Amino acid sequence: MKLTIIGTGYVGLVTGTCFAEVGHHVICVDNNAEKVAMLKAGGIPIYEPGLEELVQKNVAEGRLSFTASTAEGVEKSDIIFIAVPTPPQADGSVDLSFIEGVAREIAGAMTSYKIIVDKSTVPVKTGEKVAETIKRYCKAKVEFDVVSNPEFLREGFAVQDLMKPDRVVVGERSQRPVPAMKQVYEPFKAPIIVTDINSAELIKHAANSFLALKISYINAVSIICEASGANVQEVANGMGMDARIGRQFLDASLGFGGSCFPKDLSAFIKISDQLGYNFALLKEVQRINSFQMERFVKKISDTLWVLKDKKIGVLGLAFKQNTDDVRTSPAIDLCQRLQKEGAILRVHDPKAMEKARALLQGVTYVADMNEVAQGCDALVIATEWPVFKKLDLDRARKDLTHPIIFDGRNLFDPAEMERLGFIYKSIGR
């Protein structure tokens, strides 16, 4: 099939590449000319495991191409996916100007029947607005359908999630585009849920908010564990073996972040308010998440006392493992809070240092994780990169002026760390 994806970011690039990998012909459009030039020259603007090889292969085999022209993408394909940003506004609601802008561009370029598929995460009822906008701005008298097809990929595992989705959600306003949407996804052999467009849009916000709720739940439990001498990992393991609960998203930490959970949670709270329901449960999820960060910073200052001029090493800047994405990263938030208290930071991340530089200045970026602790009063672990478990602990103990580690991701065993001579403070243990 001939498919166009508008917005070649974390979602658009991986989706487009995986569509090409199963045999579709895909044009990825982006209005960032630099990004398009980089992709055309064989570069990849994001780090996502397995992506680079797949992009190169599909470009070489002629199924994947890049352009900065929306008109070209609209003209050459029958199905147009929208994967542009839907960032939060100051009041928590979603900035839908990117979606509206693209809808207008598509409308202006349409000369034959098109299926317009919204893949971006949007508040319920956005599809209706997109359809109205296209109708208003379409000069040619052509028919079209608007479909919602929310994306559930996890950064760091995006290729695997795209190639083997748990489910595909297709939200429609008429039956007409459904066979084509099923054909797009047929090669992925995943269950396809066809539903009305409002339900499809709600599925995404409800799912992400529920996952955030699960994290805040275990983080709240971690407070009780610390107060009672229990171990949150033991509690999570015991809870998680119940098939009704599941072990995933039960890792206590310094809190969740990233470009999705915080914004989708705020958006869902906001849209609920607008629809007349005070979703207080989700407001508490947000409160617990902020409190978890405050508790972690307090743990550091309770131990080191005055943070001014203290040297602190920080491992991890990405919002989670396996990605270079630093948008709304708890690790960056933590660094900025420590800096505000006057701490001097040495930081390292396996993939995110380049992107972090734009958000975090006045720190020393250290290329080797084993050199971060040099001359520091304490070491902090802020991202759950598996490679941090291979840290040379003997060297870290010698390099630190005091052998103190604050682990915001529970990567090490407390008893073992104590045996190695560390003052080791983690979450809920």
- Show which residues are catalytic: 260
Which residues are at the interface with ligand NAD (CB under 6 A)? 6-12, 29-32, 35, 70, 83-86, 98, 101-102, 120-121, 151, 153, 155, 259-260
Distance CA 177, CA 412 (A): 51
Based on CB atoms, which residue is closest to ligand NAD, 154 or 173?
154
Contact 300/406 with Cβ under 8 angstroms? yes
Checking DSSP bridges between strand 344-348 and strand 311-315, what pairing results, if any?
parallel
Shortest Cβ distance from residue 105 to ligand NAD (Å)?
6
φ and ψ at 196, to 5 degrees?
A: -75, 160
Contact 106/114 with Cβ under 8 angstroms? yes
Distance CA 355, CA 332 (A): 11
Shortest Cβ distance from residue 203 to ligand NAD (Å)?
12
Structure tokens at 20: 């090409």
Closest CA to 299 of 394, 233, 381, 387: 381
Which residue number is nearest to ligand NAD in terms of Cβ? 9
Structure tokens at 235: 């509690």
CA distances to 70, 128, 136, 173, 389 from 141, in Å: 19, 19, 11, 19, 60
Shortest Cβ distance from residue 412 to ligand NAD (Å)?
28
Structure tokens at 55: 């992009």
Contact 33/81 with Cβ under 8 angstroms? no
Write down how long the chain is: 429
Angle of helix 126-137 relative to helix 97-109, nearest 10 degrees, comes to 40
Based on CB atoms, which residue is closest to ligand NAD, 255 or 313?
255
Distance CA 392, CA 412 (A): 12
Shortest Cβ distance from residue 416 to ligand NAD (Å)?
34
Contact 10/49 with Cβ under 8 angstroms? no
Shortest Cβ distance from residue 36 to ligand NAD (Å)?
9
Shortest Cβ distance from residue 19 to ligand NAD (Å)?
15
Based on CB atoms, which residue is closest to ligand NAD, 161 or 392?
161
Based on CB atoms, which residue is closest to ligand NAD, 94 or 344?
94
Distance CA 139, CA 347 (A): 53
Structure tokens at 289: 């998440």
Shortest Cβ distance from residue 89 to ligand NAD (Å)?
14
Based on CB atoms, which residue is closest to ligand NAD, 3 or 304?
3
Based on CB atoms, which residue is closest to ligand NAD, 43 or 238?
43
Residue 389, CA atoms < 13 Å, CB-side half-sphere = 10
Based on CB atoms, which residue is closest to ligand NAD, 103 or 343?
103
In this structure, the number of other CB atoms found within 10 A of the CB of residue 34 comes to 10
